Amino acid sequence: MNRKYRKTVIAGNWKMNKTPTETKAFMTEFKTIMPRGRWCDVALCVPAVCIPAAVRTMRETRIGIGAENCNANASGAYTGEIAANMLLDAGCKYVILGHSERRAMGETDADVNAKVLAALNAGLTPIMCCGESLEQRQSGITTEWITMQIKLGLAGVPEDKIRKVIIAYEPIWAIGTGKTATAEQAAEVCTFIRTTVRHLYGARIARSITIQYGGSMKPANAAELLAQPDIDGGLIGGAALKPDQFVDI
Query: Where does this chain bind ligand PEP (CB under 6 A)?
Result: 13, 170, 175-176, 214-217, 235-239
Q: Which residue from 107, 123, 111, 209 is spatially nearest to 168, judged by alpha carbons?
A: 209
Q: Shortest distance, CB of residue 62 to ligand PEP, whole angstroms?
A: 22
User: Which of residues 206 and 230 has its CB atom nearest to ligand PEP in the complex?
Assistant: 230
Q: Shortest distance, CB of residue 99 to ligand PEP, whole angstroms?
A: 6
Q: Shortest distance, CB of residue 204 to ligand PEP, whole angstroms?
A: 29
How many distinct helices (H) and strands (E) make up the chain?
Answer: 12, 8
Catalytic annotation on 170?
A: yes
User: Which of residues 47 and 214 has its CB atom nearest to ligand PEP in the complex?
Assistant: 214
User: Which of residues 170 and 230 has its CB atom nearest to ligand PEP in the complex?
Assistant: 170
Q: Shortest distance, CB of residue 203 to ligand PEP, whole angstroms?
A: 29
Distance CA 55, CA 147 (A): 35
User: Which of residues 15 and 194 has its CB atom nearest to ligand PEP in the complex?
Assistant: 15
Catalytic residue (one of 99, 107, 132, 135): 99
Catalytic residue (one of 135, 144, 170, 224): 170
Q: Which residue from 82, 98, 67, 64 is spatially nearest to 172, judged by alpha carbons?
A: 98
Catalytic annotation on 144?
A: no
Distance CA 80, CA 84 (A): 14
Q: What angle do CA 147, 132, 200 make, to 5 degrees?
A: 15
Q: Which residue from 230, 242, 158, 240 is spatially nearest to 2, judged by alpha carbons?
A: 230
User: Which of residues 94 and 201 has its CB atom nearest to ligand PEP in the complex?
Assistant: 94
**Cα separations in angstroms, 32 against 7, 61, 111, 169, 193:** 24, 11, 39, 30, 36
Radius of gyration of the chain (CA): 17
User: Of all residues in this chain, which one has the CB nearest to ligand PEP in the complex?
Assistant: 237
Q: Shortest distance, CB of residue 179 to ligand PEP, whole angstroms?
A: 9
Distance CA 127, CA 155 (A): 15
Beta strand 125-130 with 210-214 is unpaired
The catalytic residues are 99, 170
